[in-house]
Amino acid sequence: MLRIENLVMRFGGVVACNDFSAEIKKGQIVGLIGPNGAGKTTIFNVVTGVYKPTSGQILFNPTGDQQHRLTGLSPDKIAQLGVCRTFQNIRLFGELTVLENVFIGNHLRVKSDVFSTVLRLPHYAAEEKRMYEKSLYLLEKIGLQDTRNEKATSLPYGMQRRLEIARALATDPKLLLLDEPAAGMNPQETQDLIQFIREIKEEFDLTIFLIEHHMDVIMEISEKIYVLDHGILIAEGNPSEIQQNQKVVEAYLGVG
């Protein structure tokens, strides 16, 4: 599905990510962990095209027969290929309503041109109806159908995170990147979130790549985990391997 090869990302003299390689297979949930400033979000930003990597390449293969090179593409192209993300510091369209936020997620799949939207030609009307119904369905899925006309920023924090996921789902992604989806959530909310991620993965046939600081979340849902420290990959493996890995323990606790 996604292959990252020898990725290097330098900002001036700072090496945010050094020679990182990873592979995500279709249908997997893969975790990316590491201490603060390890370069996790940088990797997400490179995969989604926000940054251009210094070297290395990223290959995306959604169906198994078409290889796309993501490096060098703009973020909107990457989203159109089926890679969508959420943000660590929530980036909703704050002044717009909850429903509008999800509705906008559909925009990249619109086939009608702008003039047929103004004239509301029948083929656009049909298309808009589908988008509208899909948005409502996604809102129902995250339990926000009753607050659909509220301003997005008026929602509680946990709900804003879910809304971001719903907005990303509206783009019909094949690969979903979640940047700290459980940040700021209490244990109950976290449990709900784990359940929710599993549900959407099944329903929308997703592959999920997530960054998370809550170890219980990552250990519970990931099939494979990559551990970064100071931009370098220090371990990879399944949850039990990672938990016993000496380097990981040192990175998190410091060397005594």
Partner 1 sequence: MREKSKTQITLIILVLTALGLFLANRYLDPYKIRIINLSGIYVTLGLSMNLINGMTGMFSLGHAGFMAIGAYTVGILTMPVTMKEMNFFMQPIVPFLANVEWGFLPALFAAGLIAAFFGILIGAPVLRLTDDYLAIATLGFAEIIRVVFTNTQSLTNGALGLKGIPNYTNIWWSWGVALVTVWFIWFLMKGTYGKAFLAIREDEIAARSMGINLFKHKVMSFAFGCFFAGVAGGLMAGMLGTIDPNMFRITLTFNILLIVVLGGLGQIGGTIISAVIVTVMMEALRFLDEAMDLGFVQIKGIPGMRMVVFSIILIIVVIIREKGLVRRPKGRELTYAKN
| Site membership for partner 1, residue 167 (CB under 8 A) | yes
Which is nearer to partner 1, 148 or 213 (by Cβ)?
Answer: 148
**Residues 18-37 close enough to bind partner 1 by CB under 8 A:** none
Q: Are 2 and 58 in contact (CB under 8 A)?
A: yes
DSSP letter for each residue of 5-60 = EEEEEEETTEEEEEEEEEEE-TT-EEEEE-STTSSHHHHHHHHTTSS--SEEEEEE
| Site membership for partner 1, residue 103 (CB under 8 A) | yes
DSSP class of 135: H
Q: Are 178 and 209 in contact (CB under 8 A)?
A: yes
Reading the block at residue 250, the tokens are 């040192």
Which stretch, 53-61, 63-71, 77-85, 223-231, contacts partner 1 (CB under 8 A)? 77-85
| Site membership for partner 1, residue 69 (CB under 8 A) | no
| Site membership for partner 1, residue 175 (CB under 8 A) | no
Residue 69, beta-bridge partner list = 59
CB of 13 to partner 1, least distance (A): 25
Give me the amino acid identity at 96: L
Which stretch, 76-84, 190-198, 216-224, 246-254, contacts partner 1 (CB under 8 A)? 76-84
Task: Characterise 70 by phi-psi region: left (phi > 0), alpha (psi -120 to 50), beta (else).
Answer: alpha
CB of 43 to partner 1, least distance (A): 15
Q: Are 247 and 235 in contact (CB under 8 A)?
A: yes
Which of residues 8, 59, 104, 219 is near partner 1 by CB under 8 A? Answer: 104
Which of residues 64, 122, 254, 256 is near partner 1 by CB under 8 A? Answer: 122
Q: Which residues bind partner 1 (CB under 8 A)?
A: 48, 50, 74-76, 79-80, 84-85, 87, 91-97, 99-100, 103-108, 110, 114, 117-120, 122, 124-125, 128-129, 131-133, 148-149, 167-168, 171
